[in-house]
Structure 1
Amino acid sequence: CPAINNLAQTLVTKLDGFRARPFDEELRRRRSAGLSERQEELLLAWGYPFVDDEFRFHLTLTNRCDQLNVAEIDDILKKHIVPEMLAPMKVTDVGFVGEAEDGRFHLIKRIPFGH
């Protein structure tokens, strides 16, 4: 969706001064996935390889799943989530989040658009 992609890129570029710079360990971890030349450029510029033209909207719904869970999760998504996701949605605010030492994210502040 072009509108979501534009919003994501605007947030990445305009709020870049607020992000923590990646540690060497994080850069190594990201690079171990086998980044393309473009993804490496984005990693160095923005601290994350999947922004701008490499961005794909996604929602992380679970931790890692073993093969036994995949069919169950797929059924739940098809029955309950996908139909609702096909309806148009309005983005009304943005959340600033922090990441704890254990990797969990927490909401710092939710800011409505237009305020």
Structure 2
Amino acid sequence: MSKPRYAVYYAPAADSALWRFGSAVLGYDASTGEDVPFLVPPGCDPATWPELTQEPRRYGFHATLKAPFELAEGRSEDELLSFARNHAAGLEGVALAGLSVTALGSFVALTPSAPGADLQRFAFALVRAFEPFRAPLAEADRARRLASPLTPAQHAYLDAYGYPYVGDAFRFHMTLTGSLPDGRIAPVRQALAAASAAALPAGPVRLDRFALFRQDDRKSRFRLLDSYPVD
């Protein structure tokens, strides 16, 4: 049986409009571990929407800060939770100009409306802070990452942190769909943009917390373990 995995994510407060929107698009609330009624964007087929969101539903609505990892030898979940609680006390949140529905390759996600160096620093600081809790990457996981084309810098990040898309390779995104056929990408993006405009307030978004998620085994969905507000 595979070991539990943990991840450091940005997940909005569970009572926020953003959390409700993302969870409804995916049909899963990671804070409760329960399925929720789908928010099917206008013009999309309710019969096929569960399939289009199947992959991100496994992870829950989030933006990856530190990618899923098994605990290092000698480390415990209690130690991880305690460290996260103490570490949050010294962090400052990040203000985003807003979030936009964007096509990233073959999938659709919410991304910052404007880039920001503060966001990059916030994310990379968390990657490094939690590194002592990460077990070395399993060979199968490493091979899976190497199957995608990586730059030399991304290859170095993979070796150092178990994930290639950190540091200057990091791109904040909150995934809303799985991989879509070419002809579906633009229509689904437009439909999700309309749904988000109706469900979410316009304007700045503050990243005022980070969260720990847990996956019991590789076949399970991720659940929110705890959320840590920052100043």
TM range (shorter): 0.7 to 0.9
Q: Evaluate the alpha carbon distance shift between residue 104 and residue 63 of structure 1 in structure 2; reply closer, same or farther with a 3 A threshold.
A: farther
Which of 87, 97, 109 is matched with 2:203 structurally?
87
What is the letter of the counterpart of residue 205 of structure 2?
Answer: M
Aligned-residue Cα RMSD (Å) equals 2.3
Is 1:104 paired with 2:213? no
Cα deviation 1:28-83 (Å, max 9, x = unaligned): 11111121111111001001000001111111111222235323311223323369
Q: Which has the higher helix share?
A: 1
Is 1:57 paired with 2:172? yes
TM-score scaled by structure 1? 0.83
CA distance in 2, matches of 1:60, 1:53: 20
Q: How many residues align?
A: 114
Gaps of 5+ in 1: none
Aligned to 1:12: 127
Q: With CA pairs under 8 Å and 6+ residues apart, which has the higher RCO, 1 or 2?
A: 2
Identical positions, percent: 27
TM-score scaled by structure 2? 0.44
What is the letter of the counterpart of residue 92 of structure 1?
Answer: D
Gaps of 5+ in 2: 1-115
CA distance in 1, matches of 2:136, 2:150: 19
CA distance in 1, matches of 2:169, 2:178: 22
